Chain A
């Protein structure tokens, strides 16, 4: 395609991307460098139905004057990025010098909100992504081998988890693992512990969310793999059967290499999706045991009565950086292949 026509094809999509993705990211980036102005507090008399007392309020007159001069707030540089609720550089170096063992150091750092969230996010990513790829591939292979007559309904059943709204899907599981739900109650009997609670145990909550993640994302991998399997040429497969290759060998040496680019694609998308894990934490009310980076942003924006724009923006930018880092190896590899193909 000539560059000129490519440009006009791409133009509308590009414009929308710049307007709705590019500019907001830039604005988020700018906001992350600002903090609120120093609050000007004044003592006043406050009266309510329970009596009067002297206490402080924000002085609106003085504040509005400062706000008019500098509407963005106070320039804070990377201050928000390195404070305790984010990268916590001071705390980390302090822990390093006062900890006697590496284990103690890791324990202390893991107690900081950002690292706590990062550990969960990475664990989720690292476990869910391969499981999704593997499960999706196995389901696609099995369905591909099944008689065409029943394939339709089976495919529909398989992609059901993806059709169900994430929040609804997680709520269903949430009620099942309740201390009085079918899974929760049976676990209590099975483990002979009447005080066992899936929801209050950190490990069990993580496992639940991870299982939910695999359940929810596998259909996507399955659909893409299934489509790719339809393009596998029959001749080499037949030739290998004649050569006496087992089913496993056929999959390993012919099917997998053929659909390899698709696997990369699914891996990329899954990694990106999983790094932004959010809905199951809300659906499972798991804020107490599992926090992800996306949840931190949400928390800064809505959970406080005061909205922390700077904090939320800093975490957002770091999430973007995190996704880029995770994707780099895969992208580099794709790039190399692209070059060699040429």
Chain B
């Protein structure tokens, strides 16, 4: 009897110790983007919340909420799941706290490579990597005798061939929605051409050059092969286009592959969809893509108890071997124990090919914003490439002056 009792107690204690991280107080409130991998991560963090309050906001509008919400004191959120670009405004405004002490105390399972350090201070803990790469329909390519494209020039040729064969009207797709998405495509293509956004490490813009023009011309060529409504299409919209079988070659985020290849939708399309490496452009050898990490940051304007509770829950998720084993399909996890599957091809190839990370510079957000609105007229055919790039630089300079960067 006694033995049974001890065993029971042990079991009970054992499961409790396993399920939560013994967090006794504090409250956890997470702001994150909305895609499957992040949902999995947050669910894993929730497993270990113990007696702490636990709230989460998944929103595609996370970028718009983050700075105002974290500026408040106390801030609305204790954790902000950020990426290379979205961590910058938080650091510019001094809204996130270094977590060296917490990493030392509770971050046993976190690998050294997961830490984002600025001048030795740990500002974020990354848990997944992301990039934009090519998705192809093997059946359509085979039918038309086309090899899997390795460069954007080959993408254009392939798409033109598919269109000429009368197979598809708009064989190519990428998220060209005016604003952030379109600017991101420019950033990728410009980096693929070997461009630098700023003059010698300063804040003076440096895109009105031959590489910039080549970038715009390539974007235009691809846009002409896309659905004519491309300026309104974001990642979600082109995913729908793909699932309806309207597209044969697409540039899309690696993190979106999970829902693209799930059981919903046409099984034939899903079976023929292949994830391949990102393309290069203009004879360059690095891919026209940027590497991204997603990681969690802790709000500065929150009590130490909340920060501790939040860190412990998030660290549990960011080092969970069970999670990465279970959700191996959803992302390229940076967590120890992750075994890459076929859906990780894009990111792994990008890293192998020497892709550059998205520039984590304080003024990059302004450049990104200026690109998103000023290159639209060129794509519509109302403006020359030189004029569009001149406009981008002028718009950027004005904003950078107002923000004190110039």
Are B404 and A50 within 8 A (Cβ)? no
Determine if B298 is an interface residue (Cβ-Cβ < 8 Å). no
In the complex, which residues of chain A have a beta carbon less than 8 angstroms from the beta carbon of B11? Answer: none
Determine if B259 is an interface residue (Cβ-Cβ < 8 Å). no
The distance in angstroms between the C-alpha atoms of A80 and B399, with both chains bound, is 9
Are A305 and B118 within 8 A (Cβ)? no
Q: Could you tell me the distance in whole angstroms from the C-beta of B377 to the nearest C-beta in chain A?
A: 8
Are A306 and B229 within 8 A (Cβ)? no
Q: Which of A18-26, A129-137, A146-154, A191-199 has 4 or more CB atoms under 8 Å from chain B?
A: A191-199
In the complex, which residues of chain A have a beta carbon less than 8 angstroms from the beta carbon of B395? Answer: 84-85, 113
Q: Which of A5-13, A57-65, A248-256 has 4 or more CB atoms under 8 Å from chain B?
A: A57-65
Determine if B25 is an interface residue (Cβ-Cβ < 8 Å). no
Interface size, A (range): 35 or more
In the complex, which residues of chain B have a beta carbon less than 8 angstroms from the beta carbon of A306? Answer: 89, 92, 365-366, 369, 399, 403
Residues of chain A from 193 to 225 with CB closer than 8 A to chain B in the complex: 194-197, 199-200, 202
The distance in angstroms between the C-alpha atoms of A291 and B373, with both chains bound, is 10
Determine if A287 is an interface residue (Cβ-Cβ < 8 Å). yes
Determine if A233 is an interface residue (Cβ-Cβ < 8 Å). no
Are B228 and A74 within 8 A (Cβ)? no
Determine if B209 is an interface residue (Cβ-Cβ < 8 Å). no
The distance in angstroms between the C-alpha atoms of A41 and B405, with both chains bound, is 9
Determine if B119 is an interface residue (Cβ-Cβ < 8 Å). yes
Interface string of B105-133 (1 = CB under 8 A from A): 00000000111111110000010010000
Are B228 and A196 within 8 A (Cβ)? yes
The distance in angstroms between the C-alpha atoms of A305 and B89, with both chains bound, is 6
In the complex, which residues of chain A have a beta carbon less than 8 angstroms from the beta carbon of B291? Answer: 50
The distance in angstroms between the C-alpha atoms of A60 and B179, with both chains bound, is 29
Are B403 and A36 within 8 A (Cβ)? yes
Are A57 and B403 within 8 A (Cβ)? no
Are A45 and B119 within 8 A (Cβ)? yes
Point out the residue from B114, B169, B357 that lies within 8 Å of A194, measured CB to CB. Answer: B169
Given contacts A38-B404, A50-B291, contact A179 B228 (CB under 8 A): yes
Residues of chain B from 230 to 245 with CB closer than 8 A to chain A in the complex: 230-232
Q: Could you tell me the distance in whole angstroms from the C-beta of A150 to the nearest C-beta in chain B?
A: 40
In the complex, which residues of chain A have a beta carbon less than 8 angstroms from the beta carbon of B377? Answer: 111
User: Sorted from nearest, which 5 A-B pairs have the closest CB atoms?
Assistant: A197-B228, A305-B365, A288-B178, A44-B119, A304-B369
The interface of chain A, by Cβ under 8 A from chain B, is 35-39, 41, 44-51, 55-58, 60, 63-64, 74, 76, 80, 83-85, 91, 111, 113, 178-179, 184, 194-197, 199-200, 202, 284-289, 291, 299, 302-308, 310-311
The interface of chain B, by Cβ under 8 A from chain A, is 63-64, 67-68, 84-86, 88-89, 91-92, 94, 113-120, 126, 129, 169, 177-180, 201, 203, 227-232, 291, 293, 334, 351, 357, 360-363, 365-366, 368-369, 372-373, 376-377, 380, 382-383, 387, 391, 394-395, 397-399, 401-405
Beyond known contacts A58-B92, A304-B366: 4 more, CB 8 A cutoff: A46-B118, A63-B94, A64-B94, A284-B232
